[in-house]
């Protein structure tokens, strides 16, 4: 039968603005999280990670916030640039299962 | 900067044929992974490999799939009898620890006709 792909939520921002991309995870036992960036035709690229004993971590132009109470993760990109245009998705790690679960992603469009 | 490489970049095969996808992980990494991504869908875990054996596999990774590290550098994914629904991008990844940053290769696009 016909295979229908997931409709990715899209976030459009103006160059220079800040972007916030959200992710919800389902398993309260997840103890490690990664944000990936995937450009068209390429493999996922690590952006930033956070462990469950933290609620915030900052990198270069990026910040990840973790709210374990509501099982929510966000990625903030400061001063968004055209090169930031890509699909962003989070992955959470379940120690007991020793594997990562990937979210479906958000497409970020940066308008010049 | 070291990177994960994958060959071929695109493989076209007929249904029922065997394919082998090849990966060269980063040299000092100990954990290896295969993922697939059907066009327009999310990345799905297939299998993880450590110390020359499978450490975890998903329900997708059935008897048609196998992995091997035939030498000190290559990590392969074999699909014994391909089906149309195996058409996807297949990504190899490696990491220094089982719970840390994974470095992904550029992927192999498998098209089963």
Chain A positions touching B49 (Cβ under 8 A) are: none
pLDDT digits (tens, 9 = 90+) for A71-111: 999 999 999 999 999 999 999 887 776 778 888 899 999 99
pLDDT digits (tens, 9 = 90+) for A2-55: 323 445 789 999 999 999 999 998 888 888 999 999 998 888 999 999 999 999
- Tokens 């690590």 belong to residue: A46
User: What are the average pLDDT values for consecutive 10-residue runs of chain B, which has 113 residues?
Assistant: 93 98 95 92 91 91 95 93 97 87 93 98
Please count the residue pairs, one from chain A and one from chain B, whose beta carbons lie less than 8 angstroms apart.
Answer: 58
**Contact (Cβ atoms closer than 8 angstroms) between residue B4 and residue B24:** yes
> Which of A34, A43, A105 shows the shortest C-beta gap to B42?
A105
Chain B positions touching A46 (Cβ under 8 A) are: 101-103
> Which of A46, A95, A102 shows the shortest C-beta gap to B43?
A102
**Contact (Cβ atoms closer than 8 angstroms) between residue B102 and residue B2:** no
- Residues facing residue B110 across a β-bridge: B11, B88
């Amino acid at each position: 039968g016909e295979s229908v792909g997931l409709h990715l939520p899209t976030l459009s921002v103006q160059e220079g603005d800040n972007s916030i991309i959200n992710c919800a995870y389902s398993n309260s036992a997840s103890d490690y999280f990664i944000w990936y960036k995937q450009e068209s035709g390429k493999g996922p690229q690590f952006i930033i990670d956070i462990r469950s004993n933290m609620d915030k971590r900052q990198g270069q132009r990026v910040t990840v916030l973790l709210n374990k109470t509501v099982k929510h993760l966000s990625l903030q990109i400061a001063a968004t640039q055209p090169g930031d245009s890509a699909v962003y998705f989070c992955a959470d790690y379940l120690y007991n299962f020793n594997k990562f679960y990937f979210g479906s992603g958000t497409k970020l469009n940066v308008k010049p | 900067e070291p990177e994960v490489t994958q060959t071929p970049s695109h493989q076209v095969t007929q249904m029922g044929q065997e394919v082998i996808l090849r990966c060269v992980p980063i040299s000092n990494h100990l954990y290896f992974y295969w993922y697939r991504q059907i066009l327009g869908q999310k990345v799905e875990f297939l299998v993880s490999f450590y110390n020359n054996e499978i450490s975890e596999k998903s329900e997708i990774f059935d008897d048609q799939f196998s992995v091997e590290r035939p030498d000190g550098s290559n990590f392969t994914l074999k699909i014994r009898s391909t089906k149309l629904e195996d058409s996807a991008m297949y990504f190899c990844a490696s990491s220094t620890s089982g719970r840390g940053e994974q470095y992904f290769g550029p992927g192999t696009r498998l098209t089963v006709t």
